[in-house]
Amino acid sequence: MRRYSGAGARQQQQTEAVADRVHRYRRVLMVLLSPVLLISFVLLLMPRAPASASGGVLLAVGGRRWGPRAVEDGLNKYAVIFDAGSSGSRVHVYCFDENLDLVPIGKEIELFKQATAGLRALGTQRSEEILQAVRELLHDSSFKSQPNWVTVLDGSQEGAFQWVTINYLLGKLGKPYSNTVGVVDLGGGSVQMAYAISEKDAAKAPLVADGEDSYVKELLLKGTTYYLYVHSYLHYGLLAARGEILKAGEGSDYSDCMLEGHLGKYNYGGNTFEASGSPSGASYSKCRALAVRALKVDEPACTHMKCTFGGVWNGGGGDGQKNLFVASFFFDRAAEAGFVDPKAAVAKVKPSDFEETARRVCKLNLKDAHATYPDVSEENIPYLCIDLVYQYTLLVDGFGVDPYQDITLVKKVPYGDSYVEAAWPLGSAIEIASSS
C-alpha cells in the first residue's frame, strides 16, 4: 500500500473524499433520468479547481462534448465524460497524474455509472434544449466554459478517441505506428474504423467534399506523431444495419433474415420495415446476399485505389491494421451466442466464428433459438441471425478481413491491476488532459 506525506497525503485525502461522496450518492446517480440533473449533480461532487489553476472540466455526451479541460487537483487532473448515446447515458470519471498515467479514485481506476436516458433518443429540439441548459449551467458554475464548448462530436472523432483509448491502455502510445493496433467499434447507429498509417499513405488520402470529415487525423501523443485513418459509417451500426438489410430485401411478405415464428415489423430511425420470418425459416445464404447488397460493396462511386464499402477509401492498409481490436456489439453478440466467455475482458476469435454461429442460428425457429441461446434478450432473439450474418459480412466483405485472421474482441482492457472499459470517453479525456 502506498503511503503519502505532506501535500501527497492531502491529495490522497481529497481523492478519497471524492470517491466517498460518489459512492454515497450512487443510487441517486443511477436513477436520475434527466441529463441536466445528472450533470449538475456530478459537477458538485468533483473537486473544485484552485484559484490559480487554469483547468476547467471536460464533459462529453455521446457525440456531445462539454468543456475543454480537465479539473486540476494538485498535480493530478480529473476528467468527467458524459456519454449520452442512443441507448442510454453513462458518466465516466478519470484521474491522471503528471505523467498522464491513470490514478485510482479511491479503490477504482475509473468511476462509471449508467443512467437510463439517452440524449440522442430525445429528438433534435429536446436535445438542443438540454445542451443549452448545460451551457447555462457551466456558465454559472466555477468551471471555465464558453458556449461553443458544448458541441456535437462527429463519428470520426469517436472513432479516433476509441483508438486512443485502446492503444493507451495497451501501452502502445509513444511507439512507432506499426506497433499500434487498429480498432473497429460497432455501435447501434454507426460503425467506426480507425488505425494508424504511414505519413506516405496519409498523403494519398482522397480529398473530401465540403462538410465531410477528412480521412486522416494528425495526432501528437506522448511525443509521437500519428497519422490516423478514421471513418465513421452512419447507418451501419448494428441496429441501423438491420433496417438497411431488411430494406434490401423489400418486395416480399417475409424476410430471409428473420427466424421462423417471428411476426412483426422493425422500427428504427423513424422508418418501419417488414421483419416477419418466412414459414420456411431464415436462409443464411440469402440473408448474406442481402447484407452484401446493403453494404454497397461494389459501389460504383468508388474512384479510389482501394475502398471498403459505400465508396469509402480504406486507408491503404498496412501494419497499423494487422492487429485488429473489435469492440462494442461485436463482443456482446459473441458472448450471447456462446463462443466468447461473457465474463472475459478480451477474447481471441476469427470472423469465421461469426459465420459458423450464424449458420446454426439461421436454421432455428424462434422457440428453439430461445432455448438454445438463453443469454440473448427477448427483444434481440428474433434478430440473432441477421445480426451475426451482418457482423461477419461487415468484417469480411466490408473491411476486407480474412475470415480466418485472428482478431481481438474487447470489452475491457487490462491496465495494471485493473480493467478499464474499452470506450471512447477515455480517449477524449486523454486528449484534453495531455493538452491542458
pLDDT tens digits for range 252-273: 889 999 999 999 999 998 999 9
Indicate whether 366 and 301 sit together in one domain. yes
Indicate whether 265 and 130 sit together in one domain. no
Domain extent at residue 99: 7-153
Indicate whether 95 and 220 sit together in one domain. no
Burial category of 138 from C-beta neighbours within 10 Å (exposed 0-12, middle 13-18, buried 19 and up): buried
Those residues with Cβ within 8 angstroms of residue 102's Cβ, 6 or more apart along the chain or in another chain: 94, 95, 96, 109, 110, 415, 416, 420
Q: Which three cell numbers stand for residue 127?
A: 436535445
Domain presence at residue 433:
no
Strand partners, 190: 234
Domain presence at residue 158:
yes
Confidence of residue 116 (pLDDT cuts 50, 70, 90): low
pLDDT at 119: 66
- Choose between 399 and 116: higher pLDDT: 399
pLDDT at 69: 44
Q: What is the rounded CA–CA span in Å between residue 368 and residue 220?
A: 52
Supply the DSSP symbol for 8: H
35 has a pLDDT exceeding 90: no
Domain presence at residue 414:
no
C-alpha to C-alpha distances, 312 to 108, 230, 323, nearest whole angstrom = 41, 11, 21
288 has a pLDDT exceeding 80: yes
Indicate whether 216 and 357 sit together in one domain. yes
Q: Which helix (H) or strand (E) holds 125?
A: helix 124-140
Residue with cell 440522442: 120
pLDDT tens digits for range 291-328: 999 999 877 667 667 889 988 999 999 999 999 999 99
Indicate whether 247 and 337 sit together in one domain. yes
Indicate whether 179 and 325 sit together in one domain. yes
Q: Last residue of some domain: 135, 153, 171?
A: 153
Q: What is the rounded CA–CA span in Å between residue 228 and residue 218?
A: 6
Q: What is the rounded CA–CA span in Å between residue 388 and residue 432?
A: 37
Indicate whether 146 and 159 sit together in one domain. no
158 classed as catalytic: yes
Domain presence at residue 418:
no
Domain presence at residue 348:
yes
DSSP H helical segments within 296-350, as ranges? 319-322, 329-336
pLDDT tens digits for range 318-363: 999 999 999 999 999 999 999 999 999 999 999 999 999 999 999 9
pLDDT at 148: 63
pLDDT at 45: 39
pLDDT at 87: 64
Confidence of residue 240 (pLDDT cuts 50, 70, 90): very high
Q: What is the rounded CA–CA span in Å between residue 95 and residue 70?
A: 9
Share of the chain above pLDDT 70, in %: 77
Share of the chain above pLDDT 90, in %: 54
Confidence of residue 72 (pLDDT cuts 50, 70, 90): low
pTM here is 0.79
DSSP H helical segments within 190-301, as ranges? 199-202, 238-248, 284-295
Q: Which three cell numbers stand for residue 32?
A: 436520475
Type of residue found at 197: I
Indicate whether 351 and 258 sit together in one domain. yes
Domain presence at residue 416:
no
Asked whether the beta carbons of 158 and 90 are under 8 A apart, the reply is no
Q: What is the rounded CA–CA span in Å between residue 418 and residue 234?
A: 33
17: left (phi over 0), alpha (psi -120 to 50) or beta: alpha
Q: Which three cell numbers stand for residue 224?
A: 509521437
The closest of 169, 231, 194 to 321, measured between CA atoms, is 194
pLDDT at 324: 97
Those residues with Cβ within 8 angstroms of residue 413's Cβ, 6 or more apart along the chain or in another chain: 165, 166, 169, 170, 345, 346, 419, 420, 422
CATH of the domain at 300: 3.30.420.150
27 has a pLDDT exceeding 70: no
Which of 16, 72, 108, 158 does the annotation list as catalytic?
Answer: 158
The closest of 89, 76, 98, 108 to 36, measured between CA atoms, is 89
Average pLDDT for residues 66-80, to the nearest whole number?
Answer: 63
Q: Last residue of some domain: 99, 119, 153?
A: 153
Confidence of residue 378 (pLDDT cuts 50, 70, 90): very high
Q: What is the rounded CA–CA span in Å between residue 36 and residue 61?
A: 11
Domain presence at residue 282:
yes
Burial category of 36 from C-beta neighbours within 10 Å (exposed 0-12, middle 13-18, buried 19 and up): middle
Indicate whether 201 and 173 sit together in one domain. yes
- Choose between 321 and 99: higher pLDDT: 321
41 has a pLDDT exceeding 70: no
Q: How many domains does the chain have?
A: 2
Indicate whether 301 and 390 sit together in one domain. yes
370 has a pLDDT exceeding 50: yes
The alpha carbon dihedral of 68, 62, 167, 308 has a sign of negative
